[in-house]
Structure 1
Amino acid sequence: MVEHTAGGRVVARSNRVTPTMDTNPTYERLLGASIRFVSYRPRSEKEIRNFLQKKLTRWKIFGGTVVQKVADRLAELGYLDDAKFAAWWVEQRQTFKPKGMRLITQELKAKGVDLRQFSSDRGKIDMIDEIEAAKRAVQKKLTLWEKLPTLDRKKKLSDFLSRRGFTYDTVERVIDSVAKKE
């Protein structure tokens, strides 16, 4: 039971539980900032930790234990889950900017997702039809390059798909299917 006083008199009583983190203002500020940060899109644990370290540096506060406590609290609240983040990342990459698994894996590694831990869910992600994704990625470019000579168009398609992280085999299949349509 918490009593709220004003001028020495009790004005309200509530059953609100006081924060368990000693009401540390740094903890409160970091927790609020990090919840705002994850509200825009899911984040990996590494992204959160980097964000928290930058905040502490900007505020000229030195306390690494607070970062760990905030990260633990975010995990407790369900905001910090690398497996969910990785699944979301792959879905976004396939929906809006189709990319190959090679590039997606590289992006996830840069985001700090431990691929060994993630390998149990990787089977689900490997089921992405790379050929279909590559065909979707190429659709806009085909109209841009339709007037180019065949060899130049094939070179541009090959380079474009390679930069998007598709394997050589996938690139060859897509180029062959495009050539058959012509």
Structure 2
Amino acid sequence: MADYDPYPKLLNAAFRFVSYRPRSQKEIRDFLEKKLKKYKLYAPTVIGKIMDRLKELGYVDDTKFAAWWVEQRSLHRPKGKRLLVEELRRKGIFTQTIILDERLLAAAAAKKKLPRWKLLSPLEKKKKMYDFLGRRGFSFEVIRTVVDEVLGKIYTGEEVE
């Protein structure tokens, strides 16, 4: 058992892990460490070799990962910059600057929820929208602008896009 080389098995596991979606370096490293622990092995140099190989093949790029993450969040579960930065920090992305229009993200999130609140009074709608956007991590200034814009269009009879 002393001659066992975990490299091929871990490399295949890493390929499977990155095949589902882009991953950050930290996610891949944590995954490989977990695999080594599972097999009761200690081989930090193997993890380094695997990370180098994945970088060489273009599977590891934290900048691309951060851009992909922000895009996915803006499409499927819009969140404010504060929460996006926190999510990326947990995934090992620290120096990445996120450039996005929070107002557009907040408007998209609010418009998505509007049909649920159609029977509420204007004041209740406004409160729900403030609470919802606040929980999603948007700043107060952005929330106020978006709520006024979205609710203003509803009350003037304009089509909410």
TM-score, L = length of structure 1 = 0.78
SS in 2 for 1:25: coil
Q: Does 1:137 find its partner at 2:109?
A: yes
8 Å Cα contact 2:111/2:150 also seen in 1: no
Does residue 45 (structure 1) correspond to residue 25 (structure 2)? The answer is: yes
Question: Which of 48, 58, 65 in structure 2 is aligned with 1:68?
Answer: 48
Q: Deviations over 1:4-36 (max 9, x none)?
A: xxxxxxxxxxxxxxxxxxx96301111110011
| Unmatched segments (≥5 aa) in structure 2 | 156-161
Q: Does 1:154 align with 2:126?
A: yes
How far did residue 154 of structure 1 move? 1.4
Which residue identity does 2:106 align to in structure 1? A
Q: Once the two structures are aligned, what percentage of the paired residues are identical?
A: 52
| 2:60 corresponds to which of 80, 83, 105 | 80
> 63, 66, 69: which is aligned to 1:89?
69
- Spell out structure 1 runs of 4+ moving beyond 6 A: none
Amino acid at match of 1:155: K
Give yes or no for contact 2:24–2:62 (8 Å, CA) kept in 1: yes
